[in-house]
Amino acid sequence: MKRKVELVVKSVDVIALDTFEMTLVNKYVAKTAIPGQFLHLLVDGHTLRRPISIANVDRNNNEITILFKIVGDGTKQLAAYKPGMSIDALGPSGNGFSYEGKLNSVLLVGGGIGIPPLYNLGKTLKKKGIKVTAVLGFQSKEHVFYEANFRELGKTYVVTNDGTYGYRGFVTSVMDQIEDFDTYYSCGPIPMLKAVTKQLQDHSGYISLEERMGCGVGACFACVIPTDSHGGYKKICKDGPVFAADEVVL
Ligand code: FES
């Protein structure tokens, strides 16, 4: 359920080039958010809300962590928020990842700023006793973040496009090395998701298309995406951001 909330900033830290980790306090969001959901933040002085996915939740301390990259004025301003300031948001929003049924092992495949929601998911699945393997793709060494966090969850492969850290290439370059798994979850740029879903077409999987969102409330139509052979379109902000990998046409 989406509702208007007020979050109080607890901390803001730089964790990679132009990439920030912000911890926020709000009891309702911390108690109700599920992996794959996002917050729809209103940065002071801006009229459009920004969808930013939830990277971590600490239910005991009512804390929520978001990670974001500076890509324009709004995110630049967000990075300048100080502890104690409050942010208006709608959320938690979106449908979240599905992990019903019997799962023994999963593969998480994330690219860049698509990685954060996979951390919250991986933590949740690990607590359930599910084996987690992660493949994280970044442009280059200075963009790498949360490697240690994912290593705590399970075997983690880091790939950089230019080879300055970890494996060289794309996330798909290392996926052949991974032992079998029951299902996969992926989030990142559309070209990466296309390559991942193609390579893993024999597996069931879920993809989060959060990077394609604009207004986040069904008003701008920036996020419509064709569905499978039955035709029709879905709105990422209202019907997603998570879809079964074979449900939408990328
Ligand atoms: Fe604007 Fe979905 S993001 S309609």
> Any idea what the CATH number is for the domain that residue 51 is in?
2.40.30.10
Separation of CA 135 and ligand 1 centre (Å): 29
Residue 145 has pLDDT above 90, yes or no: yes
187 annotated to bind ligand: no
Task: Tell me how far apart the alpha carbons of residues 167 and 148 are, in angstroms, rounded to a whole number.
Answer: 16
Same domain, 84 and 151: no
% pLDDT > 90, the chain: 80
Give the model's pLDDT for residue 2. 64
Pocket of ligand 1 contains residue 213 by CB under 6 Å: yes
For all residues of the chain together, what is the average pLDDT?
93
Q: By residue range, what is the domain housing residue 20? A: 3-93
Number of domains in the chain: 2
User: What is the pLDDT confidence band of residue 229, given thresholds at 50, 70 and 90?
Assistant: low
- Around 139, how many Cα atoms within 13 Å sit in the side-chain half-sphere? 8
Separation of CA 217 and ligand 1 centre (Å): 5
Same domain, 177 and 205: yes
Average pLDDT over residues 13-24: 98
| pTM passes above 0.85 | yes
User: Residue 83 carries which DSSP code?
Assistant: T
156 annotated to bind ligand: no
Pocket of ligand 1 contains residue 241 by CB under 6 Å: no
Q: Quick check: is 52 in a domain?
A: yes
Separation of CA 238 and ligand 1 centre (Å): 8
Pocket of ligand 1 contains residue 55 by CB under 6 Å: no
Average pLDDT over residues 79-100: 94
CA torsion through residues 128, 40, 2, 206, sign: negative
Q: What is the dihedral of CA 58, 148, 53, 186, to 10 degrees?
A: -130
Same domain, 55 and 86: yes
Same domain, 173 and 136: yes
Q: How far is CA 147 from CA 19, 105, 136, 152, 227, in A?
A: 14, 19, 8, 9, 34
Give the CA radius of gyration of the chain.
17
